[in-house]
Amino acid sequence: MTYLLLTILLLPILAVPFIYLAGRKSGKFAAILLALIALVTLGLILTTVPTILSQGSVTESYTWIPMLNSQFTLSADGISISMAIITMVLMLAAAIYSINYMAGKKNLPVYYALLSLLFVGLVGVFITTNLLFFYFCWELMLVPAYFIIGGWGYKDSYKTSFKFFVFTHAGAVFVLLGIGAIFMTTQSVDFTVAAQQLLSADPGIVRWILIAVTAGFAVKMAVFPVHMWLPDTYAEAPAPMSALLGGVLTSAGAYAVVRVSMGIVFPAVAGTEFATYFIQILAIIGVISAFFGSFVALAETDIKRVIAYSSISHMGYILFGVSLIPLAATATAGSVMQNTALTGTVLHIVTHGLSKGLFFLGAGAVMQVLAIRNIKEMGGLAGKMPVTGTVSTIAALSLAGAPPFACFISEFFIFMGAFQVIQNGASFFIIPTALMLVATVFSLAYALRFTTHVFLGPSKVPAVVEGTKKKFEVPRTMQLAMIILVVLVVVVGFYPAFFTDLINTAAGFF
């Protein structure tokens, strides 16, 4: 047995005291050590790609809690490894970006140690197939996030982080109830065993389990109407944390809906009237979230809240894609329809994570230089901040679904899956699909509005801020972090096959 996945999980845990001690000497040393940990784990996880492409997954199992018939199981398949890769890339970018962004701020040893703990929770959620350990990592994400937002956020930071904690922990309670019910019903917390045992369980119990876990995950996704925590949290968190929140934490909720709700629980009620209503409700919530997020983003003037509301919109796209997966799974195994619906949804989780992380880093760079947040007080920054202007514009256009950037191709797959589902006889999806196509227009509108107000047109920056400098670009480490992400946004847009091939290896499980 190899211990590769266990090593990936343990590295950031074991690094916490060393990162803290390095931070006592220099915040820069702590950031570099964290970046190296992210880079090493990324290299290790990439070594599993050939095995996953040929065999479907890599699994390690260890004895854990015999009383609960529970093995400590770590597993990476095409979906989970895609999420893990994006997490590691974003953590690498956040660590590099923090070198200058966080310079001079208080308690930096604690900040970087907390980031490493957050890294553990995020990676653990994606590479385990044990529901109990999944929940442990799900809750572990909340604690360091709470202290990072509270300790290094902007005004009312602890009030905002408390709101974040209460909302997401309330959602976690529903997840725990669902996991508890799964164990009581199946006597197992293993993903595969539980999915098999639920097929013969009481459908009434399964229905409540499905509602509970999906509701809990929806809170983390921040879809309408359980989105209230997200705008304040994203706006008040420091930029590296906003990038992780927007790029990975909400994406973890989307991943969990795909993996747990649709992969484990839903098959037990598939084909019933309840299942039909359930996926229709998901589609409706997805459409409402897409429009709500876009409309508010069009009206917002705070640079980070514009991006925050765009996250709600894109979680709507993902939830709409999730609603297609069960219908696509009724087609012949291995069909284009099945692969397209699932691939588009998971790929959009990936591309949104990259684009949103980049967008928040760009916004943080603007705020770092100008110390203002209102986009109507900006303008003309493209010539003064060329790197920031370029990467931010690419991030905005990607989130708007403009080719050839990353989110375009994932949205294309989602809509292709929708058209195939409609062609297969699911006429209900005609109107939601048409509305989602309309929503893409509003996504483009808020992206263009943002870019125009911040980077184009005459400068409205106060003279006391602007001074006599022709350029006031951010330091090179912050630029490097943004360049890493913008390269991936462009590359995935042109060549998504790396991720689509991985995701397709898991299509048979849905």
Give 151-204 pLDDT, tens digit per residue: 998 888 889 999 999 999 999 999 999 999 999 999 988 999 999 999 999 999
Inter-residue long-range contacts of 102-107, CB under 8 Å, 24+ positions, other chains counted: 102/27, 102/31, 102/152, 102/238, 102/240, 103/27, 103/28, 105/27, 105/152, 106/151, 107/151
> Residue holding tokens 């994406």?
251
Is the pLDDT at 331 greater than 60? The verdict is: no
pLDDT tens column, 77-124: 999 999 999 999 999 999 999 999 998 898 999 999 999 999 999 999
Please, which pLDDT band fits residue 232 given cuts at 50, 70 and 90?
very high
Counting Cβ atoms within 10 Å, is residue 472 exposed (0-12), middle (13-18) or buried (19+)?
A: middle
Residue 359 CB contacts under 8 Å (≥ 6 apart), including other chains: 246, 307, 310, 392, 395, 396, 399
Q: Which amino acid is at 313?
A: S
| pLDDT in the model for residue 506 | 82
> Residue holding tokens 């996880």?
45
| pLDDT in the model for residue 370 | 87
What percentage of the chain's residues is helix, strand, coil (to nearest 5)? Answer: 80, 5, 20
| pLDDT in the model for residue 382 | 87
Mean pLDDT of 210-217: 97
Please, which pLDDT band fits residue 257 given cuts at 50, 70 and 90?
very high
| pLDDT in the model for residue 470 | 60
For the chain, the domains span: 281-466
Q: Which of 163-167, 218-222, 381-385 has the lowest mean pLDDT?
A: 381-385
Q: Strand, helix or coil at 271?
A: coil
Three state DSSP letters for 39-92: HHHHHHHHCCHHHHHHHCEEEEEEEEEHHHCEEEEEEEEHHHHHHHHHHHHHHH
Is the pLDDT at 463 greater than 60? The verdict is: no
Return the structure tokens found at 49. 């790609």
| Spatial separation of the C-alpha atoms in residues 186 and 189, rounded to whole Å | 8
Q: What is the dihedral of CA 296, 302, 305, 307, to 10 degrees?
A: 90
| Spatial separation of the C-alpha atoms in residues 60 and 505, rounded to whole Å | 18
